[in-house]
Amino acid sequence: MAFKLAYALCFLLLFLHLPFPTTAQTNKNIRLGSSLTALDNSSFWASPSGEFAFGFQEIGRNSFLLAIWFNKIPEKTIVWSANGNNLVAKGSKVELTADGQFRLNDAVTGEQRWAADSAGTGVSYAAMLDTGNFVLANRSSINLWESFDHPTDTILPLQTLNQTSTLFARYTATNYSKRRFRFALKLDGDLSLYTTHFPLDSVNTIYWSTDTAGCGYQVIFNQSGSIYLTARNRSILNMISNSTVSTRDFYQRATLDYDGVFRHYVYPKSTGSSAAGWLKAWTSMSFIPPNICKTILQETGGGACGYNSICKHDQGTICQCPPGYSFIDPDDVLKGCKKNFISQSCDAASPETDHFYFQEMQHTDWPMSEYENFAFVTEDWCRQACLADCFCAVANFKNGQCWLKGSPLLNGRVDPINGVTGLVKIRKENSTMGPGGGYLKKKDNSTLVVVGSVLLSSSGFLNFLLLLTTYLVVSRIYYRKAKVNQPYLVMNLKYFTYEELEEATNGFKEELGRGGFATVFKGVLGPDKAKCVAVKRLDSMVKESEWEFKAEMSAISKTNHRNLVQLLGYCNEREHRMLVYEFMSNGSLAGFLFGKSP
């Protein structure tokens, strides 16, 4: 009996040490040789409490992101990602190899898409911690690599940002590649929000800063939920967000959102009395800058919402298009707006001033888009000046000042206290908004629309277009073929292809003579190779050879004399120009072909 019990215990121990596939793992440590495969959203390693998970999230169809996310909330909010710029296919694998390498390989290409830079220096295991930090550690539990040191767009409680650390905004809510907004603690100690010269990473415009150059040292997100910048001596230089809720009862994160705003969010946990009554959703506790629409002012770049757009701050950033414009990409409003009408003609003979009207927009401005400024004028004068100027897309008027602005419009924004009137110039027949601000019906009696509809609906017209197109294509092909193959039609002469003459001369092997613009080769023609010929090949890319070719063909083709060598044919195929003569076994063939004295 004792033997059977001992045998069963040994078998159990052996079974526990055998590897077996799992999609979710809650063990504290992840052993060397472990891996995850991108199959669905259930392929992950969870932290001991289950609050965070590391693994694959499907972004779109069969495209996967290696990420860390909040695992106990329905949204599965992502706080870190490895391959936002380069998603991998279904079946791809992230593996902690036996030698401590941690890398992600794509299933389709087999290429390595991402790797932790620990370089396998003594890594013994990996772990997904309850703080949201994923670490690679050695036998002494010293972290050799951690996700907290390589943030993407989010920081979590207990995480710090050191000098040169940078957060970058994702491209859209569902696209995790980098966009143009950055939140960075510079090497000089200044903490700032700035835009880049996208797609480059170089700084374009700083739109918020702590002005702490020379003293800023570290950004701390403490366990109480406060975020602040400290000096090297730990004194607080700038309070970024002072949370009033506990991390015990609320999940917390601070994210540089894709609209360029840095927001501190909280989400109530299931337990905790202080979370009672809160909506089960992420709530913004604070954000910087207070109004990005007014803060971003760029000489180059599209401002907060892109070119030709309008930024409005109302419990968040709202991007809009002016009347007569629409979003370039409705799924990505930060790309800006485009005109829905044809711009005004600059032809002085037809200025089209009567084809446009103005849509008035109060408190709307496009700073730094102006190319003309007029003082001590009326609004009506400003309107007429813009109508008469084909470059003018918008006119702004305030207190006798008139600014004419051209496309693309920069830094568009609504500011209730600026007192500026925006006058958007729109083509009448193509607009959807009338001068009075109401919607206009499309002109059903438009001549072009009626004629176009009749023609396009007529099968006879379509047949005519088809026949016309076929005729033009066939004519063009015939013309080009004739031009390439036989540009000079000469009576009683045979036309040879280059391939035929190359074969007749055995690859232009036997040279009979050479002149200033040509070389003569011996060849044989006919099915039995019985007729000897002399092939005069004119040098390509020489202007004189072109002239000689035309002159010689023209002269000899019109001449018939028993003392002259007979011209049998020619070749004029692309750059190849050759004359084919009867071979003279006696006498000086070269003398005739090159004009030399016997």
Looking at residue 1, its pLDDT comes to 44
SS (H, E, C) 205-223: EEEEECCCCCCCCEEEECC
pLDDT band at 248 (very low <50, low <70, confident <90, very high): confident
Pairing of strands 518-525, 531-538: antiparallel
Q: Does domain 154-290 have CATH number 2.90.10.10?
A: yes
Average pLDDT over residues 328-344: 94
Count how many residues are written for the chain.
598
Looking at residue 526, its pLDDT comes to 79
Are the C-beta atoms of 593 and 584 separated by less than 8 Å?
no
* DSSP E strand boundaries for 269-336: 283-288, 310-313, 317-320, 325-327
Q: What is the pLDDT of residues 114-138, one digit of tens each?
A: 999 875 578 999 999 999 999 999 9
Looking at residue 247, its pLDDT comes to 87
**Which residues are CB-contacts of 181 (< 8 A; sequence separation ≥ 6)?**
168, 169, 193, 194, 195, 196, 256, 258, 259, 260
* Cα–Cα distance for residue pair 522/519, rounded to 1 Å: 10
Nearest to 217 by CA among 232, 234, 233: 232
* Cα–Cα distance for residue pair 90/298, rounded to 1 Å: 41
* DSSP E strand boundaries for 412-517: 413-414, 421-427, 494-495, 511-514
Q: Does domain 22-149 have CATH number 3.90.1150.10?
A: no
Average pLDDT over residues 57-75: 94
- pLDDT score of 444 more than 80: no
With 0-12 CB in 10 A as exposed, 13-18 as middle and 19+ as buried, what is 276? exposed
Q: Which residues pair with 535 in a beta bridge?
A: 521, 580
* Cα–Cα distance for residue pair 593/587, rounded to 1 Å: 12
pLDDT band at 582 (very low <50, low <70, confident <90, very high): confident
Q: Which of 263-267, 324-328, 458-462 has the lowest mean pLDDT?
A: 458-462
Q: Which CATH class is domain 310-427?
A: alpha beta
**Chain-centre distance for alpha carbon 373:** 36
Please indicate if the annotation marks 536 as binding a ligand. yes
Helices (DSSP H) in 240-304: which residue ranges? 292-295
Are the C-beta atoms of 337 and 410 separated by less than 8 Å?
no
Nearest to 306 by CA among 218, 228, 388, 198: 198
Q: Does domain 494-594 have CATH number 3.30.200.20?
A: yes
Looking at residue 462, its pLDDT comes to 54
Looking at residue 60, its pLDDT comes to 83
Looking at residue 485, its pLDDT comes to 40
The first and second tokens of residue 422, run together, are: 């925006």
Q: Which of helix, strand or coil describes residue 294?
A: helix
Q: In this structure, what DSSP letter does residue 365 have?
A: E
Q: What is the pLDDT of residues 521-538, one digit of tens each?
A: 999 987 777 788 999 988
Q: What percent of the chain has pLDDT over 70?
A: 77
Residue whose pair of structure tokens reads 């110039």 in the numeric block: 425
Q: Which residues pair with 66 in a beta bridge?
A: 56
* Cα–Cα distance for residue pair 468/51, rounded to 1 Å: 69
Q: What are phi and psi of 126, to 5 degrees?
A: -120, 160
